[in-house]
Chains A and B, each alone.
Chain A
Amino acid sequence: MSKVIKTKRGLDIPLLGDAEKILQTPPRASEYALKPPDFHGLVPKMMIKEGTRVKAGSPLFFDKYNEDVVFTSPVSGTYTELVRGAKRRIMEIRIMPDPEDDYIDFGTESLSTMNREQVIQKLLKSGLWPMIRQRPYSVIANQNDKPRSVFVSAFKSAPLSSDMDFVVNGQEDDFQAGLDVLGMLTDGGVHLGIHADQTMSKAFTEAKGVQIHRFKGPHPVGNVGIQIYHVQPINKGETVWYADVQDVIIIGRLFKKGIYDARKIVALTGSEVLNPRYYRIITGAQINSFAVNNVRSENGLTPRFISGDVLSGEKIAPDGHIGFYDDQITIIPEGDKPELLGWLIPTIDKFSVSRTFFSFLMPWMKYRHNTNIRSGVRPFVITGIYEKVLPMDIMPMQLIKSIMINDIDMMEKLGIYEVAPEDFALCEYVCPSKIEIQTILREGLDTMRKEFT
């Protein structure tokens, strides 16, 4: 077997509410939505009017700055409502589904008879192209680029994240078909990152036409960014594309069946979920279609619904919709209650990476972590803790400071191309000064992108 890449730095936050390996298929949601804010930096232009009937795979809108990238409906039904936010920004495109899905046929031409250009065109037309993202910047890939290579991470390490072995079960062929498609996109090969001990599924360990890399370590080792860094770090001017396992599966189905079959498996997790488990849904589904009646209701405790994981997910309403890239819903308690001398009192119900709480003495404990910030924002004071949760030879504090002063030259020198907000999420989590590190890093990436494109 190939050598194992072990990372030491990182942190597994012990949270309550890991999903049990039970798969349920809930009834069809009463509403589906596509949320343009899921795609960072996108300015959507609508292609249809409210009230239009759509099929699964019908175009809804396109990217104003890259008109070939269209976004299509995951279900068939009626486009009912456009939700706008501040400054009239388009937040959601809502679709009322038909009882049964009717698909647009994109053809089942064999991959072996297609060239790279045709593959890209098929992905663009079907609305699956946004599933392929790029580093640097962590945005939708530009179809005109030639990526150095393509990466897929076959395991997740974020708190309470889905077990990919469980998810891929029964869809092995679709996954392999998707990998084959990705192989057409690059001359540099497809790299698949698996967990050295935990990845068992043959879909991953015996995947064909890819280079397999074995990883081991605490979160964020499952992040594709960390894996790219340890296999082939991104240098200035290079582009690497990546896709999630379930998106690869959906791409595989497109080429096998010729349709946009947007079904995916999501984990419903978190301390406020009564029975955390997996659900087979269609992307964009309103979450109360499966989360309802499964949320703990306690007097005075408001639950927070997160599409994604607790570190990098998006806050959504209880009747909100799962995000395009997410395969996890996390529900945790809000921390909106003041605590008397909360900073001083020694308690055992709080987790901290520092040893100023007792959690370090009780490694077996799992926590019902709430959303309290615990302090106002302070300048950087404590040093050396950010490095401990970032398994890359990058200086997180120095990089963040260079972004704060908008020093483009320094950001580049300190390796901003190699990172994405999700890789720095743990830095934000541990920061005792409560600095919004992911937001700042995203601003830095936006600055660089504007500067160079």
Chain B
Amino acid sequence: MKAIHNLLDKVRPNFEKGGRFEKLYRTFEAFETFLFVAGNVTNRGSHIRDAMDMKRTMFHVVIAMTPVLLFGMWNVGFQHYKAIGMEVDLLDQFLFGLIKVLPIIVVSYASGLAVEFIFATIRNHEVNEGFLVSGLLIPLIIPVTTPLWMIALATVFAVIIGKEVFGGTGMNILNPALLARAFLFFAYPAYLVGDDVWIYTNLQEGQQLIDGFSGATPLAYLAIGEIEKLPSVLEMFLGTIPGSIGETSTLAVLLGALVLIATGVGSLRIMLSVVAGGLFTGLLFNIFAVNPYMEIPAYYHLIMGGFAFGTVYMATDPVSASQTGTGKYIYGFLIGVITLLIRVVNPAYPEGMMLAILFMNVFAPLIDHYVVQANIKKRLKRMQTAEVKTT
């Protein structure tokens, strides 16, 4: 430990003012603080500070994402070999997925962090940890077939337009990872929508797709009214279905949710209210059902598409979500409601989670505004009653 620290001390002058790599100071600092918690002590206010910091917080979100990441990698391989009718063991399925997914993760992190480091240097502030999470979220919410250059473009767009123009981490209105997906969704719909994008089907010589192959997701079947083709509930819950890399397995998402809730990093309040909103709307559809889609059991919606993933990892982003306690209930509930409205009532998009969350991200400040106003009104009312008493 001493040796590494001495090395850092030795090279530091190069990065400080007047040094050869002065411009890279923020980059150096980011790596230094990654390796070492600096020996900086408090000098104003509270003399002691809670041991938790941004790095640890974000790291716990990354831990919470590992179940979906690992499962997603395996499912990429599983779906591929299923499509070409080959029987291989679990490890081969996983390795296939690993090889396909790893480049996506690398591209996402590299492009996003590059933007973060550049902006930290321009604005002369420390590199924020927020992208540690966004950089892993982006690969999990896109199809495995997305070209790498597109991922890089979307990530750069999301970080600059979604975050840096507002002032960086903590100031953004929209969830950066979802913005990256929305960018791809609207700019390159052919790569994000349809039945052919979810499963890697580039064939090598001698391989061919099995007869009757379809790469459609459950939501796609529902959108065209082919309910009989839905996978079983167990398949949808376990996640052995086509979909974005990390979204398919409700079980893996639940494991991640457990980590977020146990550590208190993710907001249970938001998660529960999204689920409540989804179930409520699903039940309403059941009651007033006029077509087969509206008749499917409400809980189906929770295990199809990106509902579970969005609930646990996306809606809970503390910056773009509602920031007041009461606001979180309203925000979450409406995400659930709108997701189902888009899925069932809107004919254009089979999946509604992304748009619902982005839409509520925009409305979160408005919700907060009314919650804050309620607090202010309470205070004013108290003052008026106090005045009546004294006069």
Asked whether any CB of chain B lies closer than 8 Å to the CB of A171, the reply is no
- Tell me the minimal C-beta distance from B12 to chain A in angstroms: 12
Asked whether any CB of chain B lies closer than 8 Å to the CB of A85, the reply is no
Contact with B along A408-443 (1 / 0, CB 8 A): 000001110000010001001111111011110000
Contact with B along A317-359 (1 / 0, CB 8 A): 0000000000000101011111111111000001111111101
Asked whether any CB of chain B lies closer than 8 Å to the CB of A83, the reply is no
- Tell me the minimal C-beta distance from B3 to chain A in angstroms: 11
How far is B47's CA from A330's CA once the two chains are assembled, in angstroms? 10
Q: How many residues of B contact A (CB 8 A)?
A: 61
Asked whether any CB of chain B lies closer than 8 Å to the CB of A306, the reply is yes
Q: Is the CB of A429 within 8 A of B49?
A: yes
How far is B170's CA from A425's CA once the two chains are assembled, in angstroms? 22
Asked whether any CB of chain A lies closer than 8 Å to the CB of B391, the reply is no
Query: Quick one: given A344-B55, A380-B170, A428-B45, are A354 and B50 in contact (CB under 8 Å)?
Result: yes
Q: Is the CB of A429 within 8 A of B48?
A: yes
Comparing A60-68, A104-112, A119-127, A368-376, the segment that makes contact with chain B is A368-376
Contact with A along B25-47 (1 / 0, CB 8 A): 00000000101111111111111
Query: Quick one: given A372-B37, A395-B324, are A343 and B55 in contact (CB under 8 Å)?
Result: yes
Q: Is the CB of B37 within 8 A of A432?
A: no
Asked whether any CB of chain A lies closer than 8 Å to the CB of B319, the reply is yes
* A residues 298-327 touching B (CB-CB < 8 Å): 304, 306, 310-313, 315
- Tell me the minimal C-beta distance from B265 to chain A in angstroms: 7
Query: Quick one: given A381-B170, A436-B45, are A414 and B57 in contact (CB under 8 Å)?
Result: no
Q: Is the CB of A372 within 8 A of B378?
A: no
Main secondary structure of the interface of A (DSSP, over half): loop
Asked whether any CB of chain B lies closer than 8 Å to the CB of A211, the reply is no
CB-nearest residue of chain A to B129: A378
How far is B263's CA from A356's CA once the two chains are assembled, in angstroms? 5
- Tell me the minimal C-beta distance from B320 to chain A in angstroms: 11
- Tell me the minimal C-beta distance from A339 to chain B in angstroms: 4
Q: Is the CB of A378 within 8 A of B170?
A: yes
* A residues 384-402 touching B (CB-CB < 8 Å): 384, 387, 393-395, 397-398
Query: Quick one: given A235-B386, A379-B168, A415-B379, are A370 and B48 in contact (CB under 8 Å)?
Result: yes
How far is B127's CA from A375's CA once the two chains are assembled, in angstroms? 11
Q: Is the CB of A414 within 8 A of B318?
A: no
Partner of B48, one of A236, A344, A371: A371
Q: Given the complex, which residues of B lie within 8 Å of A310, measured CB to CB?
A: 46-48
Q: Is the CB of A315 within 8 A of B47?
A: yes
Q: Is the CB of B55 within 8 A of A375?
A: yes
Q: Is the CB of A235 within 8 A of B382?
A: yes
- Tell me the minimal C-beta distance from A429 to chain B in angstroms: 5
Asked whether any CB of chain A lies closer than 8 Å to the CB of B186, the reply is no
Asked whether any CB of chain A lies closer than 8 Å to the CB of B95, the reply is no
Query: Quick one: given A235-B382, A378-B170, A414-B376, are A431 and B40 in contact (CB under 8 Å)?
Result: no
How far is B269's CA from A130's CA once the two chains are assembled, in angstroms? 46
CB-nearest residue of chain B to A379: B170
Partner of B36, one of A339, A359, A393, A397: A339
Asked whether any CB of chain B lies closer than 8 Å to the CB of A383, the reply is yes
CB-nearest residue of chain B to A372: B41
Asked whether any CB of chain A lies closer than 8 Å to the CB of B122, the reply is no
Q: Given the complex, which residues of A lie within 8 Å of B91, measured CB to CB?
A: none
CB-nearest residue of chain A to B384: A235
Q: Given the complex, which residues of B lie within 8 Å of A224, measured CB to CB?
A: none
Asked whether any CB of chain B lies closer than 8 Å to the CB of A192, the reply is no
Asked whether any CB of chain B lies closer than 8 Å to the CB of A56, the reply is no
Q: Given the complex, which residues of B lie within 8 Å of A1, measured CB to CB?
A: none
Q: Is the CB of A357 within 8 A of B41?
A: no
How far is B263's CA from A369's CA once the two chains are assembled, in angstroms? 21
Asked whether any CB of chain B lies closer than 8 Å to the CB of A13, the reply is yes
Asked whether any CB of chain A lies closer than 8 Å to the CB of B121, the reply is no
Q: Is the CB of B39 within 8 A of A337?
A: yes
How far is B44's CA from A436's CA once the two chains are assembled, in angstroms? 7
Asked whether any CB of chain B lies closer than 8 Å to the CB of A233, the reply is yes
Asked whether any CB of chain A lies closer than 8 Å to the CB of B297, the reply is no
Partner of A372, one of B39, B57, B167, B328: B39
Q: Is the CB of A414 within 8 A of B43?
A: no
Q: Is the CB of B41 within 8 A of A335?
A: yes
How far is B45's CA from A306's CA once the two chains are assembled, in angstroms? 11
Q: Given the complex, which residues of B lie within 8 Å of A405, measured CB to CB?
A: none
CB-nearest residue of chain A to B45: A438
Query: Quick one: given A352-B51, A354-B263, A382-B318, are A343 and B45 in contact (CB under 8 Å)?
Result: no
How far is B48's CA from A351's CA once the two chains are assembled, in angstroms? 10
Q: Is the CB of B37 within 8 A of A342?
A: yes
Q: Is the CB of B47 within 8 A of A384?
A: no
CB-nearest residue of chain A to B386: A235
- Tell me the minimal C-beta distance from A237 to chain B in angstroms: 8
Q: Given the complex, which residues of A lie within 8 Å of B126, measured CB to CB?
A: 376-378
Q: Given the complex, which residues of A lie within 8 Å of B210, measured CB to CB?
A: none
- Tell me the minimal C-beta distance from A305 to chain B in angstroms: 10
Partner of A373, one of B42, B55, B130: B42
- Tell me the minimal C-beta distance from B229 to chain A in angstroms: 42
- Tell me the minimal C-beta distance from B60 to chain A in angstroms: 5
With a 10 A CB-CB cut-off, give which of A313, A342, A436, A438 has the most chain B CB atoms.
A342
Q: Given the complex, which residues of B lie within 8 Å of A381, measured CB to CB?
A: 54, 57, 130, 169-170, 318-319
How far is B41's CA from A261's CA once the two chains are assembled, in angstroms? 38
Asked whether any CB of chain A lies closer than 8 Å to the CB of B372, the reply is yes
CB-nearest residue of chain B to A413: B376
How far is B171's CA from A315's CA once the two chains are assembled, in angstroms? 34
Q: Given the complex, which residues of A lie within 8 Å of B321, measured CB to CB?
A: 383
Q: Given the complex, which residues of B lie within 8 Å of A369, measured CB to CB?
A: 48
Q: Given the complex, which residues of A lie within 8 Å of B50, measured CB to CB?
A: 351-354, 374, 429-432
Asked whether any CB of chain A lies closer than 8 Å to the CB of B103, the reply is no
- Tell me the minimal C-beta distance from A185 to chain B in angstroms: 18
Q: Given the complex, which residues of B lie within 8 Å of A313, measured CB to CB?
A: 47
Q: Is the CB of B383 within 8 A of A338?
A: no
User: What are 18 of the A-B contact pairs (CB < 8 Å)?
Assistant: A13-B48, A310-B46, A312-B46, A336-B40, A338-B5, A340-B4, A354-B57, A355-B262, A355-B264, A359-B51, A369-B48, A372-B40, A381-B130, A382-B318, A413-B376, A431-B49, A434-B53, A438-B45
Residues on A lying within 8 angstroms of B by beta carbon are 13, 233, 235-236, 238, 304, 306, 310-313, 315, 330, 332, 334-344, 350-357, 359, 369-384, 387, 393-395, 397-398, 413-415, 421, 425, 428-434, 436-439
Besides A378-B170, A383-B321, A414-B379, 18 new A-B residue pairs in contact (Cβ under 8 A), listed by A number: A313-B47, A338-B36, A338-B39, A339-B37, A342-B37, A355-B263, A370-B41, A371-B48, A372-B40, A375-B33, A378-B54, A381-B54, A381-B169, A384-B269, A394-B375, A425-B45, A432-B50, A438-B45
Residues on B lying within 8 angstroms of A by beta carbon are 1, 4-5, 33, 35-57, 59-60, 126, 128-130, 167-171, 262-265, 267, 269, 318-319, 321, 323-325, 328, 372, 375-376, 378-380, 382-383, 386-387
Shortest Cβ-Cβ A-B pairs, 6 listed: A379-B170, A342-B37, A375-B53, A350-B51, A343-B55, A438-B45
